[in-house]
Chains A and B, each alone.
Chain A
Amino acid sequence: MDSKGLEMKGISMVFPGVKALDGVDFSVKKGEVHALIGANGAGKSTLMKVLSGVYQNTAGEIFIDEQKIEIHNPMDAKKNGIVIVYQEVDTALIPHLSVAENIMMDYLIGELKGIFIDWKMIQREASETMKKLGLDIDVNKLVSELTLSEKQMVLIGRAVFHKADYLILDEPTAPLSVEETDRLFEIVETVKNRGVSVIFISHRLDEIFKICERITVLRDGQLVGNYLTANETIDTIVEKMLGRKLESTFPKHEVEIGGKIFEVRNLNGEGGVNDVNIHINAGEIVGISGLVGAGKTELVKLLFGATRRHSGEVVLNGKSVAPKNPAAAVKDGLALVPEERRREGVIVQESIETNSTLPTLKKYCNGPFMNAGMLRESALKTIRTVGIKAPSEKQLVSKLSGGNQQKVALGKWIISDAEVFLFDEPTKGVDVGSKAEIYKLIGGLVEKKKGVLYATCEFSEILGLTDRVYVMYNGTIAAELVTKNTNEEELLLYSTGGGRDE
């Protein structure tokens, strides 16, 4: 193809304290499907947000067909035929309007002259657009009645209607089932044959190899290179994505691993958790690895009874437990430090004392009455144990730093009598110093012969902290590995759906 298409040259983007993009070059030819990949934080989303006008680049130029263009806001991007479809499709659609109205939204908002709307025309145009894509969604349906994948189709339809030349799909397949994904790929193919370039962001390398012609790899805000898919394999791309040696900040904990204390058999449940079999031994840290959207959070929530279980068996200390809700799970001896700290982990408008004593409140009560002295004593002990930096135990959690808030969320469980601790991304958004302290606290738990399940998308944490690891892909366990015999390449391979046919 001779058409030059879209080019970004020397794009840099600086956030306070972080250089998110550093002189990145990126180009897409007319009518090609181009993958943009990199680990979390590599700068993929930032680059696409620069292209779609959400961020202002601090340096660099953008060309379309060798003409320099200026993109200062999302409207500029749209004018130049650049449209982005985010993973959170619901933010871009109005649920109580019809499919037709949503497809024609930009027309209704911006281009419509006069006061009256020609509804017949709207319906006709919208259904023609859907036909072009080979879709049979009734355009008179309300968007709120659609499935998630249909909503994506509507957004792609909107882009096609507005004659987008460059369609950016940001992790479109993460929430989709296999059939829905196949359908999406068919549509990508149709769109491509109409001369539209598709930029495809995904963590799933097997998909990328299925539909993309070229791959651009980013790492730590820099361009690694761009490659023809035909010349690469999943393994070589994984190497390019990582390309760095891992340094260890993990404290060593030498614990004799005991017998099985927790076992899950054939677990299925809400959130796409599908036939999961895992077990945890006493004194063992078991990792749940996998990319964002692999189902790690869904799995730990299901284990804790926070979401609905469809089938399967959970055994704790030889006793069959089936927590219907978190309250039952706590009674059974489970503890969960959830991912969304401020929304789920702590109650920010309350004090450290109130938060840290919440799961164990019964211990500090005489009958129904709380004992203020015991509460205070317990809170002070927790503050000392987990190392919270605060002037007093009455300090509101909202006034603490992220790391200290997380220590409260951890501390409230560490003092409990739970047998098995579930951690979901406990170091997310936590500074380096606090991270090391959190690792140490978890090490302290296994020394007491507790079982720990540690879900994270950071491979370095899996390799540094755990004894054994389950890799999740698409809601199920793709592999079970012994940590000391594995490496980042292997984890990434299984996380991206590779190695399944071997």
Chain B
Amino acid sequence: MNKLKDMFVFTDSKGKFDIFGFLYRYGTIVVTILAIIYFSVSVENWFTFGNMTNIFRSVSIVCLIALAMTMSLTVDGFDLSTAATASFAAVIAAKVMILWELHPAFAILLPILVGCSIGLINSFLIIKLGISDMLTTLSMMFVITGVSITFQQGSAIYNYMPMLKGGVAPGLMSEGFKAIGQHEFLEIPIPIFIMLAIATIVHIFLNRTKHGRFLYMTGGNEEAARLSGIPTKKYRTLAYVLSGGIAAIAGVVLCARLGSGEVDSAGPYLMDAVAAAYIGYSVLGAGKPNAFGTLLGALLVGILMNGLVMMSFPYYSQNIVKGIVLILGLGLTYYKKKG
């Protein structure tokens, strides 16, 4: 009973409604609902099944990259190389099928393996050498982007692409593989299922398993966690490896959706993913990185962008809205932490 009261009644010591406490917990959700109501009323044909699935599909890649980032955030790290890893993974997937003519299963496994390895290198540089996480992953972002473009010899990889030696590419991207990005199940695009599935798995992993708890504790106070017997270095490594792995999954989905391995295809999603992960902090007053918050953060950004486009809001002004939403979300979280 007491617990219920804590969750739903917001009163301060004088018995007044505690507006800040309410906003801290439900602010992001309220803004999301308000945005949905506003667009439903003012934009014709906005709140339709078609448009909703459209929004979900459009945020699926951003959300996956943001989930990758969330992993590194749990240990109080930061992984800027996620989008570059996703782009690289997409190129590898395309090359595996189109140029190397391997079984499509390798187009999924190999990129994930490479993503995890990138995470391993990141964690080595951060933990063993002690370079700050932001700078390590920034450098890694440059390296991977460069390696990726070199690896694809500067151009996209697609079916029947002309070869330097003459003729066309020997292999084809398998239809089954493309289905990951392009098909629908019950009229809902497959990437949405993948996004929801990964978000759910990450959520359960972080909140229901001891490994998730150890990740959070390492991020919360590494020294205290270490002295509690948690092998904190191993868990920090795990966070970056998982970050790389999930980013690679985002890349595989992206490759399947585009049907080709484009140059730096995931690059533009990086900043939206950062925003989504950080907006996620404020969801339900978590005050820390969490999968559900990241999902909602990505959706909020997606809903706003989609609605604004349909209202003919100039595309070059959309970043203003993104920035303000991020400031509001972070403002709530950090003001609360200070208090």
What residues make up the interface of A, taking CB atoms closer than 8 Å to B? 304, 306, 325-327, 329-331, 336, 338, 343-350, 354, 358-359, 361-362, 365, 368-370, 392, 412
Contact = CB atoms under 8 A, between A and B. Distances in A.
B220 A362 contact: no
A393 to B, nearest CB: 11
9 contacts: A325-B226, A326-B228, A329-B229, A344-B223, A345-B227, A346-B224, A347-B220, A349-B220, A354-B213
Given A326-B226, A336-B227, A370 B210 contact: yes
B209 interface: yes
Contacts of A370: 208-210, 213
Given A345-B224, A392-B2, A359 B213 contact: no
The 7 closest A-B pairs by CB, nearest first: A330-B229, A327-B231, A368-B209, A347-B221, A347-B220, A358-B228, A359-B228
Interface residue tally of chain B, by bracket? 20 to 34
A437 to B, nearest CB: 22
Contacts of B36: none
A320 B312 CA distance: 73
B103 interface: no
B226 A343 contact: no
Given A327-B229, A369-B209, 13 more contacts: A325-B231, A326-B227, A327-B230, A336-B227, A343-B221, A343-B223, A344-B223, A350-B216, A354-B213, A358-B225, A359-B228, A361-B214, A368-B211
Interface string B221-243: 10111111111000000000000
B230 A347 contact: no
Contact of A361 (B2, B208, B213, B224): B213
B220 A358 contact: no
A367 to B, nearest CB: 8
A344 B224 contact: yes
Nearest to A335: B229
A347 B209 CA distance: 18
Interface string B189-218: 000000000000000000011110110110
Chain A contact residues, majority secondary structure: mixed
Nearest to A412: B228
A403 to B, nearest CB: 18
A455 to B, nearest CB: 15
Nearest to B337: A349
Contacts of B231: 325, 327
Given A347-B217, A370-B208, A306 B227 contact: yes
B226 A306 contact: yes
Given A346-B224, A349-B220, A350-B217, A369 B230 contact: no
B227 A358 contact: no
Contact of B225 (A331, A347, A348): A347
A254 to B, nearest CB: 32
B339 to A, nearest CB: 11
A368 B210 contact: yes
A329 B229 CA distance: 7
Of B214, B221, B227, the most chain A CB neighbours within 10 A belong to B227
A359 B220 CA distance: 15
Contacts of B225: 347, 358
B203 to A, nearest CB: 13
B210 A365 contact: yes
Contacts of B210: 361-362, 365, 368-370
Given A343-B221, A392-B2, A338 B227 contact: yes
A368 B209 CA distance: 5
B13 to A, nearest CB: 14
B217 A358 contact: yes
Nearest to A372: B208
A287 to B, nearest CB: 21
A361 B217 CA distance: 12
Nearest to B205: A368
Contacts of A347: 217, 220-221, 224-225
B6 to A, nearest CB: 9
Interface centre among B211, B224, B226, B287 (most CB of A within 10 A): B224
A169 to B, nearest CB: 31
Contacts of A354: 213, 217
Nearest to B233: A325
A10 to B, nearest CB: 42
Contacts of B224: 343-347
A343 B228 CA distance: 12
Contacts of A327: 226, 229-231
Nearest to A340: B223
Contacts of A359: 228-229
Given A343-B223, A350-B217, A392-B2, A369 B208 contact: yes
Interface string B23-34: 000000000000
Contacts of B209: 365, 368-370
A365 B210 CA distance: 7
Nearest to B220: A347
Interface string B65-79: 000000000000000
A426 to B, nearest CB: 14
A350 B229 contact: no
Contacts of B337: 349
A360 to B, nearest CB: 9
A359 B228 CA distance: 5
A306 B287 CA distance: 29
Contacts of B227: 304, 306, 326, 336, 338, 344-345
Contacts of A348: 221
Nearest to A343: B223
B267 to A, nearest CB: 34
A405 to B, nearest CB: 11
A377 to B, nearest CB: 16
B123 to A, nearest CB: 16
Contacts of A369: 208-210
Contacts of A368: 209-211
